[in-house]
Structure 1
């Protein structure tokens, strides 16, 4: 029987190729997505992590250094950035060269490395901000040469180290992303105005925060101190331990040397532990999302393998009957088929795993967007992808062969020789229907129970995922029973296409189980994309209404961080820019009111109505001024105050007492106006950056939204990379946040599901054509031409694809309707909205999948000659 198994594997090379291809691709998608999940998670962690391997103790100031913002002024000002570090020496840290020499003299210290580092955002060569999606990864530091004149942490690959205040070096990744060349002028900003420096060197770095997709800018030490600390001072001092010195003991020696009120020492182990907690918190969502992506690939990839082997064993029923007739036992027959499955699974698993590594390396580029690419890093191959490859390639393959082989082996030899296909019994159909109905009731009931959900809590999300999974499984179980009425209904359409359409309809109905299994992969992917796209579109519209609600301007110029500001002089340059009709500055700050902290916007009462759509319930802005504010309806209701009333509040940070404010108006909640409105001059005095504004609302002539207008506005702001210039659409995209990533992954699932479905349909049709060789020969003999044969096969494939698409759309839309209750509870203003263009595209792609999948089987079928086909055994 072992020899028989080996001969069977090698005897039918075309069948062997199709089966190996099915298993290989199933393994590739599963292992590839798991490797991608591990690699993506590792890259996200690397992008947030500093390496503490060679750091025993770090000395840092207890109070943060003054930074560039307090000295250089708000972003967008035209001042000289070279004086950034001259801010108040009274705030200078104790970390200086004197302390560094004292630390170096301590017993157990091997080396001391002072640092002056911070953040710097660069413009690319084309003037656009570089990698603005990760402001926390815009590393900036000093180039610190050692005794040999080289910085071991930043080896030069081209050019030289920066030596003066007008020079800069960057890492090779930043140079490639920004298209920088040695000698080029680079525009950058730290926490103030834009500055220009000449690129003199390109370095490499092992800092994973940079290599995973960040940027690195290096200055000479004096410039770095000026920008990020103060002249002659450092932001931190790292110490490495001599052999035999422990971190804890060294930390105690260092702490005894430091002024307790101005500096502190932390071991490298403690810093790494703190960082690990933070990174785990920030990357938990990425891990779950990647694993869900891999799980879905496993779910739909299994269909291809199971369906292929089910058909493979079914078409060998006569062969199994012959073996039984010449003396083989049922156990021997089953064992023979299982040996075939094991041998084929092992070979396909190896091929699939290699192909999966290719998929994992390509996915980050496919799923990344122009504005926000995924963090980069090496492929991480853990034990889970290897085990999954074997489980899918061997485990599912053996299971897929075992179930139909047992059924085939139980058929009497004479009966099997007489009938090739064994339709399910009435009892089996009733059992399938009952099981499917029960699963459908459980899934739908669980989803409908979420109708009253008030938020998207973890418990509600688990219920939603469980309900959706049960719903999909129920539809898969019921698909063979649904295939007959649905395809018969569609037969009225295909029947109008002549005899080829009529035969295609009959062929699709010949084996409803096979048709349903073939359509299932397409159904699952279509349901996922349809459901998530509906939720995404509905959420996007709600975010649109919230993110830009009350916005009468065409553009909003703002800072990337709340602590920075825009110099009022920049507003004048924006106002004078060509094409600008109105430009109004808004100062944002905090409002301490009623025991809580709220947001207040400082506006010019005369200009605000031209850029904000304010709907006042009572009062107006005309009386706005010092000591007088307007409140949103929600804030006024929470504090029990109305127009004309008085309330105690404080604008800005601590250090001031509450003061009485008169409420001059109450307006409908408005995200653009925030929760309260005050006079701009009063809010500016109490903002984090006094005298600055945080937003500029711009109206253009004719409401223009184009690249030229945005370029003019960026030029007017001095091309400061710290400033965002956003249209209404870009505001909504930013508000969507992780939703856009989820939708991108969803469309990736559509691609994977479409490929799997296409291969499943192709396999089904290829085996169906092989089974119907005599039938095709008879059709050719009685007059059907080659074009008619091709049309018949294509229409059959299209019928299967249409069936899967219909089930997928119905399931996805129902799931989106029920799950939408969670979003409605978490996002005010959410309402179900169908993205007709996306749904139409899904339908077109799904149906096109059927047409493409039929190409090769149709060509093979039409190439059969009548006599040759009839003579086939």
Structure 2
């Protein structure tokens, strides 16, 4: 069977190329995480980054197992006659399955070796990027460490074997008589196993959705991703049920066009449902995972903004768009604006309980007139000249209660005593500790990232509601360096955090999306290369080469359309309970789907799919149809 595995790798190297790349990328990421942990040791400055890397590693592992399983499932479906012939020659299902495991093992070991080799430069580049955007201090040099590389290589092998386990089990259902089968029509696309696994994952998704409705704080993001991943798997297993009606719906508008193209596309997808499901799977994964990640950030931001709007009397926020904050001149113009009251929020790094925190520094009188965040204990309006309002997590970690006296380490190293005026309640907004400005007088603060502005008096409030105050605010500040938003449109002070989250997400989640895009190209190449005789039959029936290539492109676009529809459905199913859970008790919170981002990702998938399908089809149709029909399979 080793010889069979080696021969299969040589003859079907195209089918295994995508799997090789996916495993190599996954091993690179896991090994890079291990090398990063080894290089940074137990430095707490890197804890947040390592948490992000660990979450990304989980997502990449999920993507790897999903696409490897779908690739091997499709490969085994393509090779039914080959395996049936081996059964006819006396090979048992276990020996054939062993050969398939051998193929996966050979690919995994070689790809894992490449991934381990790339881990050190990948970890170095990642730490340099994070240092460049200010998320981590300068890291020590990253070196190859055996204790990090061996688990990464083992993870790659385990992922490959886990991905091939399900498809290999189906080999026992292949009968020797299948060697004589000529038809490619799927007699029964939905097996008992697909029903059980699909409905099981759907039940798991329902449980995760229920848990998400009750979740809060740090548990929201992992539960959302868990719900999304289980929903993607459930949709992947159950997709053969919906593919025929979706194929009919997609091609229905084209029925009036001359020719039989729409009918051939619809019939091809409906007859070969398993093949269509295998081709849709990576598109479903790519669009669904991308939509969930983008939607998670969008929903959290929207809910946070609405939550903050509930506890402020201001009408507008003025937010610095650069890293330097609002200038002194801008702050002075805001304070001098007639008919308006301004509460400027500054930033400073202050030690609380021995840990450095970036806190908000506010004038107690201005802040009390503009904002009143909900408190578990005490009252924010009682901040006074020497008070602090700490977030719930900081209070919990240090055992602080309202009325306690605490020691603050100021930016210049000085230490002062302060009174805990309030312990702020947790919410969907960013947890923040507020410090009274008189405590830091003369000890240094950073520029103001944002300010709350409200009307000062009922007449002015009526004018502000008509937009007059907003226009005057835009005239008072330089809109190239600051933005004016109605309260509830954005969460002020969150823009820089969002920029970093999106940048890191683009780099790290991009690895997983790259794997799924490779899977799209790989499965389309496998499918097209295996249909040489189908193309020859079409040409003998009267279609010319250009018509065949257009038909292949149309099928690829239709497959992407079905996969994108399923991915969008998964995104909606995932984001709906998230918006419901976070928006409980808030007005104006609605599910916001990232439509244009999903459209862009669908377009990217379509370009990849068409190129991956048409290129091998163009090569396959160079020979005459008679020669193609008579060629050995």
Normalising by structure 1, we get a TM-score of 0.53
Give 1:651's match in structure 2, choosing from 362, 371, 385. 385
Residue 492 (structure 1) shift: 1.5
Q: Distance in 1 between matches of 2:520 and 2:274?
A: 13
Aligned twin of 1:481? 241
Deviations 1:283-318 (A, max 9, x none): 444323211211211221233333333333333333
Which residue does the alignment assign to 1:31?
27
2:272 equivalent to 1:511: yes
Deviation at 1:519, TM superposition (A): 2.3
- Deviation digits for residues 326-364 of structure 1, max 9, x if unmatched? 444444444444444433443333334445666555556
> Given that residues 330 and 409 in structure 1 are in contact (C-alpha distance below 8 angstroms), is that contact kept between their aligned partners in structure 2?
yes
How big is each residue's C-alpha offset from its partner over 1:517-541, in whole Å with a ceiling of 9 and x where there is no partner? Answer: 3322332232222123223223333
Instruction: Kindly state the Cα deviation for residue 787 of structure 1 after the two structures are TM-superposed.
Output: 1.8
Where does residue 529 of structure 2 map in the other structure? 770
Q: Is the 8 Å Cα contact of residues 521 and 753 (structure 1) preserved in structure 2? A: no
CA distance, structure 1, for counterparts of residue 529 and residue 445 of structure 2: 77
Aligned to 2:18: 22
- Aligned equivalent of 1:801: 560
Post-superposition Cα deviations, 1:730-761, rounded to whole Å, max 9, x if no partner, equal 99574256554444444446644543333333
SS at match of 1:784: coil
CA distance, structure 2, for counterparts of residue 349 and residue 692 of structure 1 = 49
Pick closer, same or farther for the CA change 1:39–1:704 going to 2, 3 Å: farther
Choose from 183, 187, 201 the match for 1:439. 201
Partner residue of 2:153? 389
Instruction: Give the alignment of 1:60-459 within 5 angstroms.
Output: 276=42, 279-280=43-44, 283-354=46-117, 378-379=141-142, 381=144, 383=147, 385-392=149-156, 394-398=157-161, 404=167, 407-408=170-171, 411-419=174-182, 423=186, 425=188, 429-430=191-192, 432-453=194-215, 455-456=216-217, 458=219
CA deviation after TM superposition for structure 1 residue 461, in Å? 6.0
Verify the 8 A CA contact 2:20 2:111 in the aligned structure 1. yes
Question: Rg larger in 1 or in 2?
Answer: 1
Any gaps of 5 or more consecutive residues in structure 2? 348-358, 388-404, 406-415, 420-428, 454-471
> CA RMSD, aligned part only?
5.1
1:258-284 superposed Cα distances (whole Å, 9 cap, x missing partner): xxxxxxxxxxxxxxxxxx5xx44x544
Q: Higher mean Cα deviation, 377-386 or 434-443?
A: 377-386
| 1:687, distance to aligned residue in structure 2 (A) | 5.3
CA–CA distance in structure 2, aligned partners of residues 556 and 765 of structure 1: 47
CA distance in 2, matches of 1:599, 1:343: 59
Cα–Cα, structure 1 residues 632 and 380, in superposed 2: closer, same or farther, change >3 Å?
A: same
Specify the alignment match of 1:529 in structure 2. Answer: 290
Distance 1:464 1:847 in 2: 27
**In 1, Cα distance between equivalents of 2:477 and 2:185:** 68
CA drift at 1:573: 10
- Return closer, same or farther for 1:804/1:482 CA change in 2, 3 Å cut-off: same
| Number of residue equivalences | 553
Alignment of 1:601-620 (within 5 A): 601=363
- The residue number in structure 2 matching 1:160 is none
Q: Deviations over 1:461-482 (max 9, x none)?
A: 6655544443233222212222
* Alpha-carbon distance, 1:25 to partner: 0.9
Supply the distance in 1 between the matched residues of 2:418 and 2:131 (Cα, whole angstroms).
49
Decide whether the 8 Å contact of 2:331 with 2:344 is kept in 1: no
Cα distance between partner residues in 2 of 1:422 and 1:405: 21
Secondary structure (helix, strand or coil) at the match of 1:651 reads coil
Where structure 1 has 5 or more consecutive residues not aligned to the other structure, the ranges are 47-275, 591-596, 613-628, 642-646, 659-670, 678-682, 711-725
> Which residue is equivalent to 2:442?
689
Partners of 1:575 and 1:469 lie apart in 2 by 50
- Does the Cα contact within 8 Å between 1:780 and 1:866 map onto a contact in 2? yes
Pairing 1:702–2:466 present:
no
After TM superposition, list the pairs within 5 Å mapping 1:593-608 onto structure 2: 601=363
- The 1:336–1:797 alpha-carbon spacing in structure 2 relative to 1, beyond 3 Å, is same
Q: In the superposition, relative to structure 1, how do residues 440 and 487 fare at CA in structure 2: closer, same or farther (>3 Å)?
A: same
Q: Distance in 1 between matches of 2:267 and 2:68?
A: 25
Cα pair distance change 1:502/1:821, threshold 3 Å:
same
Counterparts of 2:82 and 2:473, CA distance in 1: 78
Structure 1 or 2: more helix by fraction:
2
Shift of residue 39, structure 1, vs aligned partner:
4.8
Name the residue aligned to 1:755: 514
Distance in structure 1 (CA, Å) of the matches to 2:129 and 2:266: 38
After TM superposition, the structure 1 = structure 2 runs for residues 544-623 of structure 1, keeping only pairs within 5 Å, are 544=305, 546=308, 550=314, 554=318, 601=363
Secondary structure of the residue aligned to 2:592 is coil
Match in the other structure for 1:50? none
Specify the alignment match of 1:868 in structure 2. 627
2:9 and 2:16 in contact (8 A); partners too: no
| Contact persistence 2:63–2:515 (CA under 8 A) | yes
Secondary structure, aligned partner of 1:842: helix
Deviation, 1:391, is 4.3
Change in 2 beyond 3 A, CA 1:294/1:448:
same
In 2, Cα distance between equivalents of 1:285 and 1:764: 37
Structure 1 residues 536 and 871: CA distance shift in structure 2, 3 A: same
1:529-563 CA distances to partner (integer Å, 9 max, x unpaired)? Answer: 212322322333345564998365756699999xx
Is the contact between residue 365 and residue 373 of structure 1 (CA under 8 Å) also seen in structure 2?
A: no
TM-score normalized by the length of structure 2:
0.70
